[in-house]
Chain A
Amino acid sequence: MTPYFNEMFQNNAVRPPYAGLEGWSADMPADIRLAKQAEAEALFRRIGITFAVYGEGGDPDRLIPFDMFPRVFTANEWAKLERGIKQRARALNSFLVDVYGRGEIVRAGLIPAKLVYQNDAYEKSVCGFIPPKGVYSHIVGIDIVRTGPSDFYVLEDNCRTPSGVSYMLESREMMMRMFPDLFRENRIEPIDSYPDKLRRTLASVAPAKCDREPTVVILTPGHFNSAYYEHSFLADLMGVELVEGQDLFVDGAFVYMRTTEGPKRVDVIYRRLDDDYIDPLCFRPDSMLGVAGLMDVYRSGGVSICSAPGAGVADDKAVYTYVPEMIRFYLGEEPILKNVPTWKCGDASDLKYVSENLADLVVKEVHGSGGYGMLVGPKSTKQQVEDFRALIMADPNNYIAQPTLALSTTPTFVEEGIAPRHVDLRPYCLVGERIELVPGGLTRVALREGSLVVNSSQGGGVKDTWVLAE
């Protein structure tokens, strides 16, 4: 028997949320399944949802594999997740306002000063500046895994510019188009208000100097970026301009975009590039992607930047371990979602434990993302473990370790038919004047048998995620 929690089958019975899918999948002949799969792929390719993998070469227009078997939550399960996610998003933003202000949580001795103020992601240039509505992270992507019927763990927080929401929306479109009957027979909460909610969220944090309907833009690094499709997709659905650094310029106290009618003032910039690149005068002088002088305008309240520069200090993997403390400290509540136990290799006793148990642990770089530079102990060869040990010992502060979690599985279409594959979940929490969340998220699935790595850059795919209406 598998030790993993199977979200559809328990003790040879189908769990209630999946009841509507049992007959559907069992009745689908193999040839229809293949035809549908091919149809989905052709549609994705035509829409242009493709995805470039860094450092792998190959087809720059690769598709993320799409699995047609949906992942399902009940209304109750979702209600708990939603409360937990919003709670976390609130606490993370309170933390950011605090550490760029009085630093109460540090003074209270709940988090080491060094971890905050000497963090690479801590942005000294915005100390003392409070962004509109006190929000630093406007789109919080929280990666959640499940290990049992009511056991959910937060794997990591993404406070900067979490990607993947276009896959959430397009996967749903695809399913509704290919299997309309499923949506008639099951009561599935819609998610298509996401772009409107995002626009409202962004507009709600326009600077005080903006005295009219705010002009919102998305700032992209350009069409060579692997997430470019998502940038243009969101701009399109929100009806805002998709700009590159070269389209913007600073004149006096404001930022303008270059249009066919001359300069037009911009109030809110949803930037999809890292802090380092947004202003060559303030950060990397060699950046061709940003806007010279942007930070001066930002700090004088002429434009809002989402997420706010400096937000990255909250989603650092070493800071992650303190999020439960943040929730207690700022909100006076108990965390609804659990953290995964985490050992900080920078800590001598933790490092000893990690070193002794390396083959059983997952080790990640503190600032890493996308499934790069990580070790999955149980899935690695002795040599790989030893190679990684050398990396950790060379720079222990750069690594954290976690137990290998028994990620839940959901049924997934594979070559031989249907088989369980491991999944995680990334919901997107919007924080502006209000905190909002659409009922759903991006479910990523590790398509290789036994694999626990769901990142799309590592052979992961995506699924439609359903929340059933009550």
Chain B
Amino acid sequence: MLSRTADNLYWIARNMERAETAARLLEVGARISLLPSAQGYRNDWDSLLRASGNANGYVAKYGAPMQSKIESYLFFDRDNPNSVASCIVNARENARIVRTALTTQVWDALNTAFQELRQIEAQTGYRELSRLTDWVMRHTAMVRGAIDATLLRNDGYNVLNIGYYLERGDSTARLMDVKYYVLLPRADYVGSGLDNDQWMMLLRAMSANRAFHWAYGGEITSGKIAHFLILNPQCPRSLITCVAGMNNHLIRLAKHYGRETEAQPAAAKLLTDLENQSTDQIFEEGLHEFLTRFIGETATLGAIIHNSYLSGDMQ
């Protein structure tokens, strides 16, 4: 497969996953704005902006956080490279470049999302946010489904999955990092109403609030939540699930090509490190410090994958 083809497949996955993250953030934001809060809604919208990774871009363009502007910034704004619209447009452009590496169904799912997006953009007047976020979830799921149902299990499939897992792991870590202080095990907050709301919001951001209860039951504690989102391989968005996914698809890629690159040992090491962690150790290191380290290590792995498969410079 051409390196450029691999690179575009990888970015189809990352862009679609990123669009979904933006939509999740918006949904959470909308939810919070309906809750009474001692701090007012401003603070929470602000943290959502930071989680989206583009707070600076927003501030430069609009100044103070305002719900309607943040909504449009995270959903429609093409100046925001991480907005839903930017991600879908980019994913479709990546797909257009590598049409030959996709099935009709995958192309169709991506192109339909793009065509509908253009219709939504052309509509004027009030657009209900929950409808928009539902729309994103539906289309990202359709693309994912088309990939799983119709694509050959070849190198391209592995590259797509590596992109999905990398982006998802990064997204989970960033979402947690924005709210890491909520999870700090401080006795005076535990059990207070505010805390519970914030925790629920974090879980909701990952569509995991019900799953969490199924998996753990009983009282919500910071330890359980950290374990669920970082170390539990059952959670589809936990860091360990994402790293294991990357590791798995990198191993398959190495088998397919009959040779290993630097990427395989790097992913394996990241996975082993996580497997040997406990929540106690993480809290001892400091949750924020741990997440910062994880985000850095994932970025390094991303760079190694780029050099090993996507850049076209290897011999």
**A contact residues vs B (CB 8 Å cutoff):** 45-48, 223, 228, 232-233, 235-236, 241-244, 246-247, 257-263
B108: chain A residues at CB < 8 Å are: 46
Q: Is there contact, CB below 8 Å, between A48 and B99?
A: yes
CA distance A48 to B114 in the complex (A): 11
Q: Is there contact, CB below 8 Å, between A223 and B2?
A: no
Query: Shortest 3 CB-CB distances between A and B: which pairs?
Result: A258-B312, A232-B99, A236-B100
Determine chain A's interface SS by DSSP, over half rule.
Answer: mixed
From the candidates A48, A232, A244, name the one contacting B4 in the complex (CB within 8 A). A244
Closest to B97 in A: A223
Q: Is there contact, CB below 8 Å, between A263 and B315?
A: yes
Closest to B7 in A: A260
CA distance A242 to B8 in the complex (A): 13
Interface size class of B (residues with CB under 8 A): 20 to 34
CA distance A255 to B159 in the complex (A): 26
B35: chain A residues at CB < 8 Å are: none
A156 to chain B, nearest CB (A): 30
Closest to B313 in A: A258
Q: Does B111 contact A (CB under 8 A)?
A: yes
Q: A48-B99, A223-B97, A242-B100 are in contact. Are A260 and B3 (CB under 8 A)?
A: yes
Q: Is there contact, CB below 8 Å, between A247 and B2?
A: yes
Q: Other than A223-B93, A233-B99, give 19 A-B pairs with Cβ distance below 8 A.
A: A45-B115, A48-B107, A223-B96, A232-B99, A236-B100, A241-B2, A241-B100, A247-B2, A258-B3, A258-B312, A259-B312, A260-B1, A260-B159, A260-B253, A260-B257, A260-B309, A260-B310, A261-B257, A263-B315
Q: A260-B3, A260-B257 are in contact. Are A46 and B314 (CB under 8 A)?
A: no
Determine chain B's interface SS by DSSP, over half rule.
Answer: helix
CA distance A261 to B314 in the complex (A): 8
Q: Does B117 contact A (CB under 8 A)?
A: no
Q: Does B195 contact A (CB under 8 A)?
A: no
Q: Is there contact, CB below 8 Å, between A236 and B2?
A: no
Q: Is there contact, CB below 8 Å, between A247 and B96?
A: no
A256 to chain B, nearest CB (A): 10
B151 to chain A, nearest CB (A): 14
From the candidates A46, A228, A233, A243, name the one contacting B2 in the complex (CB within 8 A). A243
* 5 pairs of residues in contact across A and B, judged by CB atoms under 8 Å: A228-B96, A247-B3, A258-B4, A260-B6, A260-B253
Q: Is there contact, CB below 8 Å, between B4 and A236?
A: no
Q: A260-B257, A260-B309, A262-B314 are in contact. Are A232 and B2 (CB under 8 A)?
A: no
